[in-house]
Structure 1
Amino acid sequence: MNRTIAIGDIHGGLKALIQLLERIQLTPNDKLIFLGDYVDGWSDSANVVSHLIELAKQNTCIFIRGNHDDLTHKWLQTGKINEQWLQHGGQSSIDAYRNFSNKEIEKHIQFYNQMLNYYVDKEKRLFVHAGFTNLHGPEQEYHPTGFYWDRTLWETVLSLDKSISVSHKFYPKRLQLFNEIFIGHTPVTRIGETKPVNMANVWNVDTGAAFKGKISGIDVNSKEMWQSEPVHILYPHEDGRN
């Protein structure tokens, strides 16, 4: 059976990612779509990237760019430090790369360079870290930062009147462009949930791995879900982004 599995934010929690993949019972036939934010949080940020590079040698993998990936990428390329980034997990990535050789770092920079801002499959499903704002679709977006920073798509579906049908003239045009949209970026723990949440045709797969939550995966066809243990349990002597 060929499965397509979307995996939410990881934030340096390699132990939890490995646990999740074991629970999925991953096979070489499975396609994995990672929704971004591989780094910034737990101590294994750089090791997560190394693991993903190796994983892509045995499985078809799509790697979506997250805002934290973009920030870490810029630091690796320029050495410039964004103070706000440091306050939101960046220090963990700086620490994680201390023992990496220049050759290893160059390999990682190539990985960051090859990430996608978004991906649309044959079933007209969109996979993006945060969202998009252009009513004509992501290909018409004026600036790429919205793909990994924008929260208005998620805010829109949270506030959407459930009595309004898709055909209603006021129904959000962005939601009409795709059959389903899979995102991360905004932890569902903020609305008191612990598993991937479906609102309208949007699935949010960020279950708070950067904080007290888990890393989650979802079969985009069957909607079967898998989760790691709460990541902080696997890193008992760390604070993550708490």
Structure 2
Amino acid sequence: MRTLVIGDIHGGLRALHQILERSNVTTHDKLIFLGDYVDGWSQSPQVIDFLIEFQKTHDIICLRGNHDELLKDWLKDSKENEQWYQHGGESTVLAYHKINAETKKKHVRFLESLKDYYIDEKNRIFVHAGFTNLNGVNFEYFPKMFYWDRTLWETALALDPKIKPDQLYYPKRFTLYHEIYVGHTPVSRIGETTPVQKANVWNIDTSAAFKGPLTILDVDTKEFWQSEPLPSLYPNEKGRNKF
């Protein structure tokens, strides 16, 4: 059995189909989705439909992303958020205009069922964004940080590789788990389009919301498979790009 982790999808169902096919996913695999299923490309409702059905036949863990939480707030409470619209939410709102009320209710139930994080039997943690408490996720004072935090990844990027885990200045957060898998902050910000490891933190968000591909990675072997860049799969759309 493989454990596979999937980065931020952002409405790109075609890319999701590609990576599942290219990695030859079977019912023997465990799949961990890092969140942000929506906002960007035009198929956000279809991505959620797919995941709802997929979890009936496959062993999957679906984590909560910040965009998923924003969608839940809008679907459940009609909560308007102009900043959300400017960061991919507009395409999602437009897509949901074609979705019936019963399906929307089913999507709300799915969004409410999402997990904040997942820790496996090898003490590897999977979380959309990060965590801030130095004693780990069980002590997090601000649960929204699980899907909004950027300090964990920024700390990993800034860490001098010469500092070792047993040294005084090594970030305590990194010593709590064998490996940490995150999405949320696209690696394109540092000029990359493949998964990036810094310290024991792996960032799997390869910028599918923008101009990059979607990625699925085997957490044991570190082999990964990618879709085509999303603009080539949705040539008449902008995603979250400004062009």
TM-score (norm 2): 0.98
Partners of 1:92 and 1:52 in 2: how far apart? 19
Instruction: Give the structure 2 partner of residue 17 of structure 1.
Output: 16
Counterpart residue identity of residue 20, structure 1: I
Q: CA deviation at 1:30?
A: 0.7
Please give the alpha-carbon distance, in whole angstroms, between the structure 1 residues aligned to 2:163 and 2:15. Answer: 39
Residue number in structure 1 paired with 2:130: 131
The residue correspondences of 1:71-86 to structure 2 (distance < 5 A) are: 71-86=70-85
> Tell me, what secondary structure is at the counterpart of 1:92?
helix
Deviation at 1:99, TM superposition (A): 1.5
Q: Deviations over 1:165-207 (max 9, x none)?
A: 1000111000000000000000001101110001100000000
> Would you say 1:121 and 2:123 are equivalent positions?
no
CA displacement at 1:97 relative to structure 2: 1.1
- Residue type matched to 1:95 in 2? L
Residue 237 of structure 1, CA deviation:
0.4
CA shift, 1:85, in A, is 0.3
2:139 paired residue number: 140
Q: Which residue of 2 aligns with 1:210?
A: 209
Residue-by-residue CA offset, 1:16-57 (whole Å, 9 max, x unaligned):
110111101111111100001000000001100001111111
Distance of 1:235 and 1:210 partners within structure 2: 11
Deviations 1:71-91 (A, max 9, x none): 001000011210000000001
The secondary structure found in structure 1 opposite 2:91 is helix
C-alpha distance in 1 between matches for 2:60 and 2:97 = 27
Structure 2 Cα separation of the partners of residues 80 and 53 of structure 1: 24
Cα distance between partner residues in 2 of 1:60 and 1:190: 32
Q: Secondary structure at the match of 1:153?
A: helix
- Structure 2, unmatched stretches of 5+, are none
* Counterpart residue type for residue 145 of structure 1: K
Give the partner amino acid of 1:31. Answer: K
1:89-122 Cα offsets, whole Å, 9 max, x none, are 0011111111111111111111001000111111
Equivalence map 1:25-104=2 (5 Å): 25-104=24-103
Q: Distance in 2 between matches of 1:111 and 1:182?
A: 22
Please report how far the alpha carbon of residue 220 of structure 1 lies from its aligned counterpart in structure 2 after TM superposition.
0.7
Q: Confirm whether residue 230 of structure 1 aligns to residue 236 of structure 2.
A: no
Which of structure 1's runs of 4+ aligned residues deviate more than 4 A? none
Query: Secondary structure of 2:57's match?
Result: coil
Tell me the amino acid that sits aligned with residue 152 of structure 1: T
Gaps of 5+ in 1: none
Query: Partners of 2:96 and 2:140 in 1: how far apart?
Result: 33
**Cα RMSD between the aligned structures?**
0.6
Q: Which amino acid aligns with 2:116?
A: N
For residues 166 and 6 of structure 2, the distance between their equivalents in structure 1, rounded to whole angstroms, comes to 31
Task: Give distance in 2, aligned partners of 1:209 and 1:194.
Answer: 9
- CA distance, structure 1, for counterparts of residue 143 and residue 49 of structure 2: 25
Q: Give the TM-score, by structure 1 length.
A: 0.99
SS in 2 for 1:74: helix
- Alpha-carbon distance between aligned partners in 2 of 1:131 and 1:80, rounded to the nearest angstrom: 25
Paired residue type of 2:205 = D
**Cα distance in 1, alignment partners of residues 11 and 229 from structure 2:** 13
User: 3-state DSSP class of the match of 2:60?
Assistant: strand
Give the count of matched residue pairs.
241
